[in-house]
A and B are shown apart, each in its own frame.
Chain A
Amino acid sequence: MKITFKKSDYDLIVQHSREALPNEACGLLGGVLEQDGTHAVRRVYTLTNTDASPYHFSMSPSEQFAAVKNIRENGWKLIGNFHSHPETPARPSDEDKRLAFDASLSYLILSLSTENPVLKAFRIENGNASETEILILN
């Protein structure tokens, strides 16, 4: 499984995550599922981390519902989510894996622990995470 998105969407994820510092940031990804299984992002939805914590995130349910309805109105599907790790690497924590209930989604993590942001994507199923390819389109 691969995920693709525009450079402007990547920039939005980075910007939203930097603006949330020192707390974790989060959001949803709407897009289409291509014939070869690629998740093609069409829009990034930046959401509020209701935990307002550097160590945890929870998405606002009302914002989630609004995003999912907008995704549906555009003929897209919910294809993934993202959150940031201000101080730790871009890899799913045990809590990330425990709370990944939908194995069909791409789970993206942006680490801001180094000088340059590091974005990675994962598939998480039954508590097991496997890294997937990200392709950022110009």
Chain B
Amino acid sequence: MSVALNGEKKDVGAEITIRNLLFKEKIKVHDYVTVQVNGEIISSKDYDSFVIKDGDEVEFLYFMGGGR
């Protein structure tokens, strides 16, 4: 199964949850990663249940913030 991951075509094997994809991509601090699938931002509460399918466009980026 292939998806577009941050603009690059990637073979991710079988259907996979967002959580498992983050692990697969060695992404740390999942609580601070924002994920968008086919243009829709997915709540982090759903990372364990949302299944990514063949052909999906997936984008993820780290939360950016800070303070004085």
In the complex, A99→B32 CA distance in Å? Answer: 9
The smallest C-beta distance from A38 to any residue of chain B, in angstroms, reads 22
A-B Cβ contacts below 8 A, count: 69
Query: DSSP class of A's interface residues: helix, strand, loop or mixed?
Result: mixed
Interface string of B35-68 (1 = CB under 8 A from A): 0100001000000000000000001011111111
**A24: B residues at CB distance < 8 A:** 67-68
Contacts of A99 in B (CB 8 A): 32, 63-66
CB distance from B33 to the nearest CB of A (A): 8
Q: Would B68 and A101 count as touching, CB distance under 8 A?
A: no
Which of chain B's residues have a CB closer than 8 A to the CB of A83? 66
- Given contacts A72-B7, A101-B62, A101-B63, whether A65 and B68 have CB atoms under 8 Å apart is no
Range of interface residues on chain A?
20 to 34
Among A54, A69, A81, point to the contact of B64 (Cβ < 8 A).
A81
- B residues within 8 Å of A by Cβ? 6-7, 28-29, 32, 34, 36, 41, 59, 61-68
- The 18 listed contacts between A and B (C-beta, < 8 Å) are A24-B67, A54-B68, A57-B66, A58-B65, A61-B36, A64-B61, A64-B64, A65-B41, A68-B59, A83-B66, A92-B66, A93-B68, A95-B68, A99-B32, A99-B66, A100-B66, A101-B29, A101-B32
